[in-house]
């Protein structure tokens, strides 16, 4: 009977150790070597990780997998204590994941499975049959090779927390980053009453969204981002010789690439709002220092606020540079399926805090239109042009161009509408007209207009919004 039990224990240990060694090999081939461009193997990493997470083997790091896995395979006395040490570090493993990736990264089912795995492993490796398999005739001693292994494993489990603390101290001492980032102040927005805002603002529909903008603003440019369809940025500024304020809107998510990378997958949340909140507020992941340094105003102290409305939520960054006040915002709808970001700049006394909140609280996401609606916007733009309604003309031609970016007539009329009110960026208009001629070389109106404005230089250049490409 004892021989039968011994064979069962040996068989289970071999399966256990082979899985550990296999996971170490997979990790080396799919994670470690590709980083050095030594080897590139494309496997379904998610499926592999799910399997090893479900077995509990994922609790081990690659070096420990190799050392302990080999020891178990050879039934070495010290390997048993290596396994017990790894199981005892489970709370540290969970704490590290929580600090680095936030609560949303903790999957209930994974924690439950791993916790059960830990309990069963500790119970199993404490039984007499397993001790007999390892030929154990002595007790555990700290001052020994197996004691050193157990202590090393426990210290390694704290390595990521120690690494985080080191970077926090280093960044605070050398670069002046705050040791802990304050949680954003939460402000609640209310939809503005029409009677209060119609005097100074006008409601427009741009890029599948509706919002209020100051009446003395006009559109300055509309660009595709990275040549991706339906990813655009539109700029508006006040009319007149001097730029007192500008507004830049974009309909893309600033962290799209990160969300699709392992960085986003590790976070465990597909919510864009939660992802941005994690980037803005996490205090422990050193990788975020680089991201925040690239997306934050250089050399400027700024304040971040979390904004809410019944059907909207987002963030607002505010900072000052000389007499200019900058506000960068990102807004998400309740379902997290649409988002809008942008920057609002104004000189002192032009757009106050209430104006900014009025603009942000007025944002409403509209049902996305298909390209078939571009003709309607174009026709409406021609009617507004005949009435002399400059802003509405620009808005309608903007939407036509947005929905059908390869139509030369839409591009031409959009470019022409930019010249109606004290244009400040002739270079952008020239680029639009050159694009028209690429699509339709014999476009006579575009040729004529290009000759008229060719000698005229741009008066000002709008600064690029933070996070834009």
Banded pLDDT at 171 (limits 50, 70, 90): confident
Band the pLDDT of 197: cuts 50, 70, 90: low
Q: Which ranges in the chain are annotated with CATH 1.25.40.10?
A: 369-469
Q: Supply the pLDDT for residue 463.
A: 46
Residue whose structure tokens are 């919510």: 271
Numbered ranges of CATH 3.40.1000.10 in the chain: 180-368
Check whether 417 has a pLDDT greater than 80: yes
Residue 396 confidence class, pLDDT cut points 50, 70, 90: very high
Domain covering 369-469 in this structure, CATH number: 1.25.40.10
Say whether pLDDT at 412 is over 80: yes
pLDDT beyond 90 at 395 = yes
Positive or negative, the CA dihedral 86, 88, 94, 97 is: negative
Average pLDDT, rounded, for the chain: 83
Confidence of residue 436 (pLDDT cuts 50, 70, 90): very high
Give the pTM: 0.79
Alpha carbon distance 134, 155 (integer Å): 25
**Which tens digit of pLDDT belongs to each residue from 313-352?**
999 999 888 888 999 999 998 888 889 999 999 998 888 8
- Going by pLDDT thresholds of 50, 70 and 90, the confidence category of residue 196 is low
- Higher local confidence (pLDDT), 421 or 467: 421
Percent of the chain predicted with pLDDT > 70: 87
Second CATH level (architecture) for the domain 180-368? 3-Layer(aba) Sandwich (3.40)
Average pLDDT over residues 153-176: 87
Kindly list the distances between the CA atom of residue 39 and the CA atoms of 20, 23, 46, 191, 427, in Å, as whole numbers in the listed order: 22, 17, 19, 55, 46
Residue 372: the pLDDT is 85
Statement: residue 96 has pLDDT above 70: yes
Output 271 or 329, whichever has higher pLDDT: 329
Residue 1: band (very low, low, confident or very high) from pLDDT cuts 50, 70, 90: very low
pLDDT at 141: 72
Range name among 102-106, 326-330, 463-467 with the lowest pLDDT average: 463-467
Average pLDDT over residues 80-85: 90
């Amino acid at each position: 009977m004892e021989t039968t039990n011994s064979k069962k224990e040996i068989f289970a240990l071999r399966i256990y150790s082979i899985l550990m060694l296999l996971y170490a090999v997979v990790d080396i081939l799919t994670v470690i070597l590709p980083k050095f461009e030594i080897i590139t193997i494309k496997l379904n990493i998610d499926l592999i990780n799910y399997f090893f997470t479900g077995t509990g083997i994922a609790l081990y790091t690659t070096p420990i997998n190799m050392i302990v896995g080999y020891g178990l395979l050879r039934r070495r006395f010290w390997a048993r204590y290596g396994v017990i040490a790894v199981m005892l570090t489970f709370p540290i493993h969970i704490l590290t994941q929580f600090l680095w990736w936030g609560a949303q990264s903790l999957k209930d089912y994974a924690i439950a499975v791993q916790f059960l795995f830990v309990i069963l492993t500790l119970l199993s490796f404490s039984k007499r049959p397993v001790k007999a398999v390892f030929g154990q005739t002595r007790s555990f001693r700290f001052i020994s090779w197996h004691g050193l292994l157990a202590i090393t494993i426990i210290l390694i489990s704290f390595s990521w927390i120690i690494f985080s603390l080191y970077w926090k101290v280093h960044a605070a001492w050398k670069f002046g980053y705050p040791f802990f980032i304050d949680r954003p102040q939460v402000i609640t927005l209310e939809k503005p009453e029409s009677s209060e805002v119609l005097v100074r603002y006008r409601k427009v529909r741009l890029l599948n969204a509706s919002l209020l903008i100051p009446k003395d603003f006009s559109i300055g440019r509309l660009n595709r981002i990275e040549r991706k369809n339906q990813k655009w940025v539109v700029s508006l500024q006040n009319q007149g010789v001097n730029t007192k304020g500008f507004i830049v809107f974009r309909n893309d998510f600033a962290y799209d690439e990160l969300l699709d990378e392992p960085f986003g997958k590790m976070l465990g949340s597909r919510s864009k709002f939660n992802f941005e909140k994690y980037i803005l507020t996490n205090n422990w992941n050193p990788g975020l220092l680089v991201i925040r340094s690239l997306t934050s105003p250089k050399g400027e102290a700024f304040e971040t606020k979390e904004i809410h409305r019944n059907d909207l939520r987002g963030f607002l960054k505010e900072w000052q540079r000389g007499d200019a006040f900058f506000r960068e915002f990102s807004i998400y709808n309740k379902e997290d399926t649409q988002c809008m970001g942008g920057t609002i700049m104004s000189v002192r006394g032009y757009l106050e805090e209430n104006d900014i909140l009025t603009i942000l609280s007025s944002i409403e996401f509209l049902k996305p239109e298909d390209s078939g609606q571009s003709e309607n916007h174009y026709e409406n733009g021609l009617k507004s042009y005949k009435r002399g309604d400059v802003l509405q003309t620009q808005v309608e031609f903007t939407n036509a161009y947005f929905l059908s970016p390869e139509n030369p007539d839409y591009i031409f009329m959009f470019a022409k509408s930019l010249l109606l009110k004290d244009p400040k960026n002739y270079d952008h208009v020239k680029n639009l007209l050159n694009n028209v001629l690429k699509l339709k070389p014999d476009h006579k109106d575009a040729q004529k207009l290009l000759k008229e404005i060719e000698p005229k230089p741009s008066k000002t250049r709008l600064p690029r919004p933070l996070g834009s490409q």
